[in-house]
Amino acid sequence: MPVRQAEGRIQPEHRAVILCHFERHRSSGIDMSGYDELIGLSAVGVVELLRNGQVSSHDLLDALEMRISHVDADVNALPILCFDRARAHADMLQRRPDGERGRLAGMPVTIKDLTHVAGVRTTQGSPIFADFVPSASDVLVDRLEAEGGIVYAKSNTPEFGAGANTFNEVFGATLNPYDTSRSAAGSSGGAAVALAAGMAWLAHGSDMGGSLRNPASFCGVVGMRPTPGRVAQSRYACVDATLAVQGPMARTVEDVAFLLDAMAGDDARDPLSKPRPVQSFLSAARSGWRPVRVAYSADLGITPVDPEVAEITRRAAERFAEAGVVVEEAHPDLSEAHACFQVLRAQSFATSHGQHLERHRDKLKPEVIGEIERGFALTMAEVIGAERQRAMMTARAAGFFESYDLLLCPATIVPPFPVGERSVKACNGVTFQTYVDWLAIAYAVTLIGAPALSLPCGFTREGLPVGLQIVAAPNGEARVLAGARLLETILDLHTASPIEPRGAKASGAKTDRAD
């Protein structure tokens, strides 16, 4: 079944309210071009303005609301808006002394629509929860708001995060701003598009099989999967799950590091959460640390790769040599990744969403039904076997990182594909058996518990972004960030600036305003 195109965005009455709000600013003598300048700044730069009192959180929210009214109808990235809640939070934060406004200091941030925000519609991309409004926020949201983050929008996601193409039956499809006929990947597709199109400076996402890294690659932004436990999260179904993690996304490595600083830290509600490290991640990114020896692999020995993607990522990896880094072709043995991930993913879906199968089967998309049924059909021998495979791959990867500081490979094996295709069916002459097989280059890294980042590293002949995956040993976020910032500087691709959506306009995407 083809993916349904986005329907209905900012309603006329909502657009009128937004424009009326900005007319009041114009009559007060405010230069509207300043809002465009704000949108183009880095998050770190904007926070500096906040702390110096040169802008307020309300200025930032005004700029974002205007930007969303101009471009989101074309891409459908932020279907749920909560600006009244955001402005009330900004007022509350402004009453605090300057030194008590947290790391984010009043910085707006989007939250993926899989994650609860108190008082804001949270659908998980599913008709089952189309009208659900949680009374309490996820642990992660509590942390961000305690650090001075202001939630103003929820970003679009596929149903329950299943599948790396952001579409659902509640809000429709999210479109790639580099070509609106193409997929934004997923499942944090709305977050990546919001960043690329200038509707966010900072965005939250989550990642199981590449859900932060794939959309970052497709949309020319930076997305990072941290080590499991680095970011505390609510544990609704399984206390010790480590496949899915929460993480940051932004347009630059420094901005990702900055958001990770606000996200990281332990919380008693998440027994797997880790204390915040002594050195900040932003300081680590700026530390000047350089790897001595890195490995590059086009395929990790487990997947086909589009030849153009392989060429672009290899060229980018080789540019580490300009900084005196030794670059070699190598990868750890991850040969069990396919079988292992299929079992553990199915188990996770059955645990988290199995209760919906009997009462709401008619509202679930086929991929989710298949995952849940596969999970229920698993034998104990299959689960034990997958856990042992994961342990063996993790041990071999640990040995590999004794010889190499970083592992480099494509973040995604294909360029952005047509949004009407539910998933990638084949690559470089190889036909995939399931809708997630094409994600192996990302989910293999998930299985070994390693931190990984997708860095924009080039463009295809059609002008579509390609991401390089940068991986370190578990708990090696500092190395990932420092290495990524070094290469970002060498490549100098100018992807930090937001773009105007390109291509045919989306026809009618749905929207919801929580205020």
- Given a cut of 90, whether residue 158 has pLDDT beyond it is yes
Nearby residues of 300 by Cβ (< 8 Å), 6 or more positions away: 331, 334, 337, 409, 440, 441, 444
- Given a cut of 60, whether residue 504 has pLDDT beyond it is no
Residue 112 among the catalytic residues: yes
Say if residues 240 and 272 touch (Cβ distance below 8 Å).
yes
Nearby residues of 176 by Cβ (< 8 Å), 6 or more positions away: 75, 182, 183, 184, 193, 218, 219, 416, 419, 464
Mean pLDDT to the nearest integer, 440-454: 98
Nearby residues of 126 by Cβ (< 8 Å), 6 or more positions away: 159, 160, 168, 169, 170, 363, 364
Using one digit for the tens of pLDDT, what is the confidence trace for 29-87? Answer: 445 567 888 999 999 999 999 999 999 999 999 999 999 999 999 999 999 999 999 99
CA 493 – CA 178 distance, rounded (Å): 15
Q: 353: number of CA atoms within 13 Å, CB side?
A: 28
Using one digit for the tens of pLDDT, what is the confidence trace for 344-360? Answer: 999 999 999 999 999 99
CA 458 – CA 5 distance, rounded (Å): 28
Q: String of b and e for 367-376 (b: at least 16 CB within 10 Å)?
A: bbbbbbebbe
CA 349 – CA 242 distance, rounded (Å): 13
| Confidence at residue 122, expressed as pLDDT on a 0 to 100 scale | 98
Please report which residue ranges of 41-82 form alpha helices under DSSP H. 43-51, 57-75
- Given a cut of 90, whether residue 466 has pLDDT beyond it is yes
Q: Which CATH superfamily is domain 12-513 in?
A: Amidase signature (AS) domain (3.90.1300.10)
* 57, 69, 112, 155: the active-site residue: 112
| Confidence at residue 505, expressed as pLDDT on a 0 to 100 scale | 44
| Confidence at residue 17, expressed as pLDDT on a 0 to 100 scale | 43
* 155, 187, 217, 348: the active-site residue: 187
> How much is the pTM?
0.93
Mean pLDDT to the nearest integer, 175-190: 98
Residue 211 among the catalytic residues: yes
Residue 287 among the catalytic residues: no
How wide is the angle at C-alpha 248 spanned by C-alphas 499 and 226, nearest 5°? 140
10-24, 380-394, 438-452: lowest mean pLDDT where?
10-24
Q: Tokens at residue 500, please?
A: 């105007």
| Confidence at residue 35, expressed as pLDDT on a 0 to 100 scale | 83
Residue 513's pLDDT band, with cuts at 50, 70 and 90, is very low
Domain boundaries, the chain: 12-513
